[in-house]
């Protein structure tokens, strides 16, 4: 191991506002091409932008969630470049006065919690979508390109990390955690496969023990957390081989090819001066007051890290807390707690039997025939001894099959446990009366026969007597 990787990640997040960043066009995904368009997002001459206040507030809120400093006078800049999906020939973006600067995100790649610094969070507009026909689906070998401007002008938030990441696992943990935060805030649907959240990674290598940064390569086109991890592992290995052979790294953009499992060289990487940034003359600076900041801070939801910590405080294992916060069953867990159920038991059912059921059936949480009230009742019935844990599994099965409330399922399937002391005492007395020899031997100190007698009572009660009560009463009545 001579080299260590230095990785920074740029994350683009499409905000799920109703309208676009600088016009009133709707933002829905999947509409007929070129139907959600107007003179502003087509860049027609004379059209003027009007900023989307919600997008600005959400971007500032994300900055607050990441501990950023909010810029009091933030400015939109024009980033000038020519491409067919950018009809104005410039993108309205931000340059030296982004909405949010600094901050950090805590990640847990499985080797302990660590901090990744945030450089900035800024707001810009998305471009249109190009579809290259023929060839390999890339522009240089295609016969024709189709353009859809529905995406043009959708608010796009960019979160830039510091180059604090050194392994593909850490990169994945960072991307995962940032996605969790965005989802908890409800500001994007953050669908990786639809491109509403996209990651680009800057990767360079340096000799272990040195601090100077090597030549960096930007890797693009990673459509899942797994492909981010794979692409980085590949790129680190590629650069290691080059450096080991004495070759130099070319500063460039490379595209991840998911099927081939390699990165291809793209265009050579521009310097920011190539974009001739200048302040957007059609927009005034965005002034954020301390009052706005205070309101946005107050309205922040509970963030995933805080929620996981709260679950651990409620007695959950760290792994269960992670699963519930990141997975589809967190809402049901919260609702079941609100219905008064014991946290640890509910978590066990959700991350065990119920998660397994969803895996098996391929359904989602919304399709479950079980709700918070039912699950709380089920857990309550175990706690009060009305159901053994084995019987509870069968009751749950019935509930998931839509057979009714736990009471109804338990009654219909004859699974209720008898915990009534008087009823069990009568059963115990009858069994002891028919086993006088064993009772006498227990009296003489043969403790292991207690288990035998308990078994006899359980059998006499057809397995429905509460074993804890049976055990206590057998001991009581044989030790007089």
Chain residues binding Zn ion by CB under 5 A are 23, 25, 38, 40-41
Cβ 156 to Zn ion shortest distance, Å: 14
Cβ proximity to Zn ion, 38 vs 312, nearer residue: 38
Q: Which residue, 39 or 137, has its beta carbon nearer to Zn ion? A: 39
Q: What's the min distance (Å) between Cβ of 88 and Zn ion?
A: 12
Beta carbon nearer to Zn ion, 87 or 461:
87
Q: Which is nearer to Zn ion, 25 or 173 (CB)?
A: 25
Output the smallest distance, CB 49 to Zn ion, in A. 10
Nearest-approach distance from CB 3 to Zn ion, in angstroms:
47
Q: How far apart are CB 196 and Zn ion at their closest, in Å?
A: 18
In the complex with Zn ion, which residue's Cβ is closer, 124 or 471? 124
Kindly state the smallest distance separating residue 14's Cβ from Zn ion, in Å: 15
- Choice between 42 and 300, CB closer to Zn ion: 42
- How far is residue 390's CA from residue 473's CA, in Å, rounded to a whole number? 22
């Amino acid at each position: 191991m001579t080299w260590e990787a230095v990785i920074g990640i740029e994350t683009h997040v499409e905000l799920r506002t109703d309208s676009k960043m600088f016009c009133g066009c709707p933002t829905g995904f999947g509409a007929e091409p070129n139907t959600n368009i107007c003179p502003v997002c087509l860049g027609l001459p004379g059209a003027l932008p009007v900023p989307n206040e919600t997008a600005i507030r959400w971007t500032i809120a994300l900055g607050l969630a990441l501990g950023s400093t909010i810029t009091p006078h933030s400015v939109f800049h024009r980033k000038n470049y020519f491409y067919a999906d950018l009809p104005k020939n410039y993108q309205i973006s931000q340059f030296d006065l982004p909405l949010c600067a600094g901050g950090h995100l805590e990640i847990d790649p499985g080797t302990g919690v660590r901090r990744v610094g945030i450089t900035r969070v800024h707001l810009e507009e998305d471009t249109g979508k190009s579809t290259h026909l023929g060839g390999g689906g890339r522009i240089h070998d295609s016969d024709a390109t189709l353009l859809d401007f529905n995406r043009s002008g959708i608010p796009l938030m960019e979160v830039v990390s510091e180059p604090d990441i050194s392994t593909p696992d850490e990169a994945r943990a960072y991307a995962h955690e940032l996605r969790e935060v965005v989802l908890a805030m409800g500001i994007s649907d953050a669908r990786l496969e639809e491109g509403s959240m996209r990651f680009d990674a800057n990767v360079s290598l340096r000799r272990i023990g040195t601090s100077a940064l090597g030549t960096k390569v930007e890797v693009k086109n990673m459509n899942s957390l797994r492909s981010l991890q794979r692409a980085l592992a590949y790129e680190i290995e590629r650069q290691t081989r080059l450096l080991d052979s004495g070759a130099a790294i070319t500063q460039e953009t490379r595209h991840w090819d998911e099927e081939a499992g390699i990165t291809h060289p793209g265009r050579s990487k521009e310097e920011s001066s190539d974009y001739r940034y200048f302040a957007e003359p059609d927009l005034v600076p965005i002034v954020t007051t301390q009052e706005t900041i205070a309101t946005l801070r107050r309205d922040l939801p509970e963030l995933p890290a805080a929620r996981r910590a709260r679950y651990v405080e409620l007695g959950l294992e760290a792994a269960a807390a992670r699963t519930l916060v990141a997975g589809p069953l967190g809402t049901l867990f919260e609702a079941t707690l609100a219905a008064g159920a014991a946290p640890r038991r509910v978590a066990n059912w959700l991350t065990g039997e119920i998660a397994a059921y969803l895996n098996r059936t391929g359904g989602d949480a919304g399709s479950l025939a079980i709700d918070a009230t039912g699950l709380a009742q089920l857990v309550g019935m175990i706690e009060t001894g009305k159901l053994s844990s084995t019987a509870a599994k069968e009751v749950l099965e019935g509930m998931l099959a839509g057979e009714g409330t736990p009471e109804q399922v338990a009654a219909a399937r004859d699974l209720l446990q008898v915990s009534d002391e008087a009823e069990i005492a009568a059963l115990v007395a009858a069994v002891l009366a028919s086993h006088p020899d064993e009772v006498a031997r227990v009296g003489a100190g043969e403790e292991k026969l207690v288990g035998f007698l308990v078994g006899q009572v359980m059998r006499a009660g057809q397995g429905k007597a509460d074993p804890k009560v049976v055990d206590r009463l057998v001991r009581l009545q044989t030790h007089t």
